[in-house]
Structure 1
Amino acid sequence: MSTVSSTSSSTNVLRITGMATGLDVDSMVEKLMAAEKTKVDKVKQEQQIIEWKQEAYQDIIKDIKDLQSSFYDVTSSDKNILSSSNFAGFNVTGGNNAVANITAGTGAKVGNYTVKVTALASGAGISNTLSGKALSTKLTDIDTLDNTDLTGSITLNLKVNGGSDVIPITLDNSSGDKTIGDLVTAINSQGSGNVKASFSELTGKFSLTTTTTGNTASLTIDSGTSTDLSKVIGFDPAGPFPWSVTNSSSGAVIGSATAVKSANADVTITPPGETVGIPVTNQTTNVFTIDGMNYNLSGVGTSTITVGADNDKVYDKIKGFIDKYNAIVDKIQTKLTEKKNLSYKPLTDTQKEAMKDTEITNWETKAKQGILRDDDNLKKMLNDLRSAFTTPVDGTSFSMVKYGSNSIGLDFGSDRTKPQHIDITDSSKLKAAIATKGDEILKFFTNVSTSSDATTANSENGILTRIKSVLENNVGKTGISYNNAVLTKYANKQDDFSINGTSGSNTLPNQIYQKQQLIDTLNKSLSKKQESYYQKFAKLESAMNTLNSQQASLSQLSGS
């Protein structure tokens, strides 16, 4: 049987085989190659197992990242379980936010609070009225003083809070097009966060103040400052230099300007149980905390609030964390103990061609079982997480036991298939501890050690702080996907050496790449082997052609 075939190796070759022998050469070569191809299939199956393991790892990493985003996001106090506000069992009602925004934290008392703000803490500065002007007004169009010219290079040299370092502000107005808005931007961008400038188009006021508030703040306009800036800022160009303003004195200003002296906040607070307001002394800022109450002053006036107990808020936050934590550790534990089904191996391409999609899916589901069985990295992580709960927290009397005076109603579950599972064995005990020992509960869960010694730090850290550390050691910090943490380094693609063709550490991407290198090598060997078989059959064809030719010649001789 003669056949025409196209075989592929490094190039496409058109073959006409079996013309002389009548053999089905392609079929025979395919059968001869079958045993050789099983070597490639075996390596592909090994590679597939590694890829499945990588996918399983990445699925676990995603779950942990979700936990971190929900409970360890430092950008949001509500999503940062280590924030003391999450362990403050209080709610606040009433109040006037135009005067102060007030929240209750750990250490606050239940009852009514009255806050009277007579004056906000202020920085030192100067304010000048530029009537009829706008942000878009050119500096050269400000003519409040005679014979002034704000063109060329404009310089404003400042000093703040009694410091000796000059903060230089420069603005190039050679074109004459710079505006009030440009000057505001230059001061705010070049002021190193020490000063701020603003202009109100409603009032026409240009203001320059220190960002530091309180009676220690001061502002100095130093020598070297462009004199013509006086018509914008408001200092008297005829007055002595350096020009300055403190909490008690100021330099001379022009008629449309006012020096703003620095001052502490003037505020009194009447806490629960008191009938007379207590002055808050030496308060240099408008944001402060006293006796567990957080105050953010915003205006002059009086605000009264009521603080009530809200222990369910703390309990719900702890329970929410435990529920999400349990879902992850239970899933990992299941993967660690799942038995391998040796009857199901990864399918070869040939096997898949003979199956339906649903059959392939069902088969691969069984083939993936046990892919993470007894995985060392995951076992160590679970052991470290368990230790985070079992190691006593220094300075607290609580422990992870079901019974006893030091129990807070938390313990490991009794289900042996879920040894890392945390149970709230007695919710009333946990709620009672939250209500009566709030400071100790806060320390037990969230304390952060300042010790540089690792052993001491671990003993002093709260349970949730320890868990945060374990998770970061394994998947990195919140919001960072690729890093050198244990699981991500082992599984994620930053170590995918197929990108640069080199070998590295024994990560899963590298193992996958090494298998691919072996597959490529075997395929090249297969191509050579296949070519050698065709060459042998070609020689047989040639020999048969020669023999047939000789027979034809003999037949002709006999016939003649």
Structure 2
Amino acid sequence: MSDTLRILGMASGLDTETMVKQLMKAENMKVDKVKQNRQVIQWQQDLYREIIGDLTTFRSTYFDVLKPETNVLSKNNYSAFDVVSADVPAAGAAVSSIPGSSAAAGVGAATGVYRVEVTNLASAATKVGRPLAENTTKSSTMSSLGLASNTTVNITYNGTTKPVKIETGDTIENVIQKISNATSGNVVAKYSELTRQFTIQTSATGSGNSLNIDSSISALGIYKDSIDMKTTVDTLTKSGSFDISYVDSNGTIATKNISLSAGATINDIVDNINNDTGNMVAASFDPATKTFSLRQKDGKEVRINNVPDFAKSELGLPSYANAGEVKGEDAVLKITPPGSSTAVNVTKSTNNFTLDGISYSLSRANTTTNITVSSNTQKAFDKIKGFIDKYNEIVDKVNKKISEKKQYEYKPLTDEQKKDMEPEDIKKWEERAKEGLLKNDSTLQNMLSAMRSAFFEGVEGAGISLKDLGLNTSSDYTQKGKIVFDMTLGGEQKLKDMLATKGEQVAKLFMQTSTKKPTYSPDLTTAEREARNSDQGIFQRINDILQDNARTTRSNAGKKGFLIEKAGIKGDFSEFNNLLYNQIKDKDKVINELTKKLAGKENRYYSQFAKLEQAMNSLNSQSNWLAQQLGGGA
């Protein structure tokens, strides 16, 4: 106990060190017993944390929206279909390796070939600036791009106007953020260092979106006069004319009538506009995007009026007075469903939408794609079975922990005992000593009971039960409630058949969201929880139970999950704030107090033996003196 160097037993001949150790043995046993109790608590904490880790991994695998392939609360995972998309090329054209349309088949989809003819993609209301100077980056300042003084620009989107103050010291990145903040993200700005173009557009697509800027931002290449229109033909089908108003070289408003002749090409029209306006209005056409553009020099406004209907549709020419406004476009397509020869006209504000169980994704206009949907129950079956298999692993592991017999004869080894043992023997001993440490644990028993109930209590609105899918609890009592395929109910084939014929109901049984209490909360009352459980799917219930036990967020009462409160987890505040950790700290206090007392007692024993040595030395001295006196008298 003490580090003091002692030389004892010289006079008495006693083995003082051994005698003190023998005297202290009973006292040390008290400390060892507390240390053993502490080790048991530490092992219990480790076992709980291992189970918490299993529950957390299970939940992150099967209940994470960022993992759509395994998320059992995603309706797509109950789809019993395969989908293949392939473009139908025009005569003489090559087949594209990437289809213009793709799709995913969900619950409720019909098998067969869907023909999808896309005329136009949905787009946002967009303004694209002219290319800026070379070497312009997002960190370039407005002053370096030519902004002489601070200015305020009003951005109007979908009828809402917001002012944006642009300062000379702002970088392009600052302006992008200011636009986003001012419009609450409804208008998005971005800058491409590749094309050196600044773009402003609505965050949503569709013809219901509009965008207008009340003044030019020449430093960013944005001019109020910029008019961009999608053309639909290469040559005009009819004749007519329209008016262009612009600011001429004298600074006055000039109006020119631009003739449109049947059979005229886009290049003819571009040349007519440039020539007739004395190049004060710059007309251009981008064949890659089929965009026809009109711009006034020096940021002055261009107005277009008296546009004939055929020019609006063929050239996309607007008739509105304020040339600064642009609008989004809808996706326009036709879908011919399986077994039908009649195409259905479809207009959508987005390129991603779902119809009759088919989730479409459009990527190119002017394409025709055949989407083939075929039945494949194995894929959905494997995902459900994979979940159940992993669930059974956890149930089996927890059941073993709460039912295994405690090995009372195997107590944690003391330091003295370990000195005489081989490492492998120590490992085997401790494995036996850990058995039964969670026997009959009420928290784990309650969790397993709730899980079993989650599977077999009816789900309102599903129309089917677990047994209708060939699933049941194991008849083997040693498996204690594991979910198995029951051959008397049809086994695995029953689930596959139900996926193929009643996929919608299977999805509801497993992942239906409660309409009574749609959101999980640890603070629900018993009645509220019962209401939530009554109409939510089985896997939704399991997710609730996992959160109840391994949740790291706090309830209104400041409590985390039941197991977290008991054992905590590393890297979280609960690591040093949980029931078992507090018990370990209490044991450490007792050990420290006992250790101090033992040190004092040991020192007393050595002090007593030291006094004995002194007495023996004194006695020996007296004996020697007496012997000398007696010897001298003879």
Fold shared, TM-score > 0.5 on shorter chain:
yes
Alignment of 1:45-56 (within 5 A): 45-56=36-47
Deviation at 1:323, TM superposition (A): 0.9
For 1:202 and 1:220, the matched residues in 2 are separated by 25
Instruction: Note if 1:151 corresponds to 2:161.
Output: no
Deviation at 1:284, TM superposition (A): 1.7
Instruction: Note if 1:297 corresponds to 2:356.
Output: no
Task: Give the count of matched residue pairs.
Answer: 514
3-state SS in 1 of match to 2:5: strand
Instruction: Note if 1:525 corresponds to 2:600.
Output: no
For 1:351 and 1:195, the matched residues in 2 are separated by 73
Residue deviations 1:149-207, cap 9 Å, x none?
4134354332311124x152534338xxx5x6775576567654222334567766543
Q: For the Cα contact (< 8 Å) 2:123–2:206, is it kept in 1? A: yes
* Aligned-residue identity in percent: 41
Deviation at 1:127, TM superposition (A): 3.1
3-state SS in 1 of match to 2:368: strand
1:207 matched to which residue of 2? 199
Instruction: Note if 1:229 corresponds to 2:290.
Output: no
Alignment of 1:460-479 (within 5 A): 460-476=535-551
One-letter amino acid matched to 2:160: G
One-letter amino acid matched to 1:489: E
- Check 1:450–1:518 CA distance in 2 against 1; reply closer, same or farther (3 A cut): same
For 1:185 and 1:335, the matched residues in 2 are separated by 55
Residue deviations 1:238-267, cap 9 Å, x none?
5499xxxx99736236xxxxx643222212
1:262 is matched with which residue: 320, 328, 332? 328
For 2:127 and 2:552, the matched residues in 1 are separated by 45
Instruction: Note if 1:286 corresponds to 2:351.
Output: yes
Q: For the Cα contact (< 8 Å) 1:263–1:284, is it kept in 2? A: yes
One-letter amino acid matched to 1:35: A
Q: Which moved more, 1:526-535 or 1:509-518?
A: 509-518
Q: Which moved more, 1:209-218 or 1:442-451?
A: 209-218
1:492 matched to which residue of 2? 568
For 1:47 and 1:497, the matched residues in 2 are separated by 22
2:471 matched to which residue of 1? 410
1:249 matched to which residue of 2? 320
1:85 matched to which residue of 2? 76
3-state SS in 2 of match to 1:295: strand
- Check 1:43–1:204 CA distance in 2 against 1; reply closer, same or farther (3 A cut): closer
1:172 is matched with which residue: 168, 177, 182? 168
Deviation at 1:78, TM superposition (A): 0.5
For 2:173 and 2:58, the matched residues in 1 are separated by 46
2:441 is matched with which residue: 372, 375, 379? 375
Instruction: Note if 1:160 corresponds to 2:143.
Output: no
For 1:84 and 1:499, the matched residues in 2 are separated by 37
1:363 matched to which residue of 2? 429
Alignment RMSD, CA only? Answer: 3.1
Deviation at 1:325, TM superposition (A): 0.9
Deviation at 1:141, TM superposition (A): 7.6
- Check 1:516–1:260 CA distance in 2 against 1; reply closer, same or farther (3 A cut): same
2:251 matched to which residue of 1? none
Deviation at 1:554, TM superposition (A): 3.5
For 2:141 and 2:590, the matched residues in 1 are separated by 72
Alignment of 1:72-111 (within 5 A): 72-96=63-87, 97-111=98-112
Alignment of 1:433-448 (within 5 A): 433-448=498-513
- Check 1:398–1:539 CA distance in 2 against 1; reply closer, same or farther (3 A cut): same
For 1:56 and 1:353, the matched residues in 2 are separated by 26
Deviation at 1:220, TM superposition (A): 2.8
- Check 1:495–1:531 CA distance in 2 against 1; reply closer, same or farther (3 A cut): farther
Residue deviations 1:352-393, cap 9 Å, x none?
111111111121122122121111111111001001012111
Deviation at 1:134, TM superposition (A): 5.8
Deviation at 1:18, TM superposition (A): 1.7
Q: For the Cα contact (< 8 Å) 1:490–1:508, is it kept in 2? A: yes
For 1:161 and 1:538, the matched residues in 2 are separated by 98
1:66 matched to which residue of 2? 57
1:146 matched to which residue of 2? none
For 1:150 and 1:450, the matched residues in 2 are separated by 55
Q: For the Cα contact (< 8 Å) 1:497–1:509, is it kept in 2? A: no
Deviation at 1:91, TM superposition (A): 0.9
3-state SS in 1 of match to 2:20: helix
For 1:130 and 1:347, the matched residues in 2 are separated by 77
2:606 matched to which residue of 1? 534
3-state SS in 2 of match to 1:209: strand
Residue deviations 1:303-323, cap 9 Å, x none?
111111111111111111111
For 1:498 and 1:132, the matched residues in 2 are separated by 56
2:372 matched to which residue of 1? 306
One-letter amino acid matched to 2:494: K
3-state SS in 2 of match to 1:344: coil
3-state SS in 2 of match to 1:78: coil
1:353 matched to which residue of 2? 419
Deviation at 1:106, TM superposition (A): 1.2
Deviation at 1:21, TM superposition (A): 1.8
One-letter amino acid matched to 1:379: Q
Deviation at 1:487, TM superposition (A): 1.4
2:480 matched to which residue of 1? 419
Residue deviations 1:132-156, cap 9 Å, x none?
75644886687xxxxxx41343543
Q: Which moved more, 1:264-273 or 1:483-492?
A: 483-492
Alignment of 1:108-123 (within 5 A): 108-123=109-124
Q: For the Cα contact (< 8 Å) 2:147–2:219, is it kept in 1? A: no
Instruction: Note if 1:35 corresponds to 2:96.
Output: no
Q: Which moved more, 1:409-418 or 1:535-544?
A: 535-544
For 1:314 and 1:499, the matched residues in 2 are separated by 39
3-state SS in 2 of match to 1:15: coil
- Check 1:186–1:113 CA distance in 2 against 1; reply closer, same or farther (3 A cut): same
Residue deviations 1:490-548, cap 9 Å, x none?
11246999998xxx76x122222221221111111110110111111122222223333
Q: For the Cα contact (< 8 Å) 2:143–2:169, is it kept in 1? A: no
1:390 is matched with which residue: 456, 463, 470? 456
Deviation at 1:100, TM superposition (A): 2.3
For 1:497 and 1:63, the matched residues in 2 are separated by 20
Q: For the Cα contact (< 8 Å) 1:213–1:285, is it kept in 2? A: yes
2:9 is matched with which residue: 9, 18, 27? 18
Residue segments in structure 1 that go unaligned for 5+ positions in a row: 1-6, 143-148, 254-258, 402-406
What's the TM-score, normalizing by structure 2? 0.74
Instruction: Note if 1:511 corresponds to 2:583.
Output: yes
Q: Which moved more, 1:193-202 or 1:522-531?
A: 193-202
One-letter amino acid matched to 1:172: T
